[in-house]
Amino acid sequence: MKNLIIASTSTLHGGSYLDYLLSVLKEHFASCKSILFIPYARPGGISHEEYTQKVQIVFKTIGLEVKGLHEFSNPIEAIQQAEGIFTGGGNTFLLVSQLYENKVMDVLKQTLETGTPYLGTSAGSNICGLTMQTTNDMPIIYPPSFETLGVIPFNLNPHYLDPDVNSKHMGETRETRIKEFHQFNTAAVLGLREGSWLEVKGASIVLRGTLTARLFRANQEAVELESGSELSFL
């Protein structure tokens, strides 16, 4: 039975890393003594070691040990044997490229589908959808495929932003970009605002947090979903 927390972001404005989710994560990983961290997205180009150390400091506060996937000579085996898994944010193109290069995309999907507790934030949430095509990230590297884990039956747009009527920015809004996606693709897209997350338990997918999320479907008007909404119908 799938057991996933899929969060828009790791850090809220004015907060510290994962602090808004720590109480949720303590319960989510209650059966674990250690977490396998996938640092491949490397936000800002930091090293795998630096990224893992950042995560270790935070998870230590809830009594969990953290090891980075890059530390293992056999990453497939490391994922299969992990008590819990966390994939952090950064660049989704880089993350997906590394998952394919290290031949762990399929084994990660299989492991999550059999119930290993998982946390994804930002890029680590993007990969839970059918494809990574609704990421906000720059294509700094070309992955062999845009297909991702597909452990939820739709795509995500983490860090979803509503248009600012007072802004002088004349570029595309997130809604415009998602509409462009739907000119060529049929997958539903959930715009997940900062501080929101999806709680996946088996076939159930529930929106959590205090904010609504915006659901986009091809050839339909976008709709707002209240916190607590069940999304398994997608």
Judged by average pLDDT, the poorest of 104-108, 147-151, 166-170, 183-187 is: 166-170
In one letter, which amino acid is 69? L
- Active-site residues, by number, are 122, 137, 159
In angstroms, rounded to a whole number, what is the distance separating the alpha carbons of residues 207 and 148? 21
Per-residue pLDDT band at 14 (split at 50, 70, 90): confident
In angstroms, rounded to a whole number, what is the distance separating the alpha carbons of residues 106 and 111? 9
* Distance (Å) of CA 142 to CA 40, 96, 101, 157, 185: 14, 9, 11, 19, 20
Dihedral over Cα of 150, 151, 152, 153: its sign:
positive
Beta-carbon count within 10 A of 211 CB: 18
pLDDT at 171: 60
In one letter, which amino acid is 125? S
The pLDDT tens digits for 126-167 are 999 999 999 999 999 999 999 999 999 999 999 999 876 676
With a CB cutoff of 8 Å and minimum separation 6, the contacts of 93 are 132, 135, 137, 138, 139, 140, 141, 142, 143
Domain ranges of the chain: 3-152+196-207
The mean per-residue pLDDT over the stretch 204-213 comes to 97
CATH of domain 3-152+196-207: 3.40.50.880
Name the average pLDDT for the chain. Answer: 96
SS3 string of 203-215? CEEEEECCCCEEE
Could you tell me which residues are beta bridge partners of residue 120?
6, 87
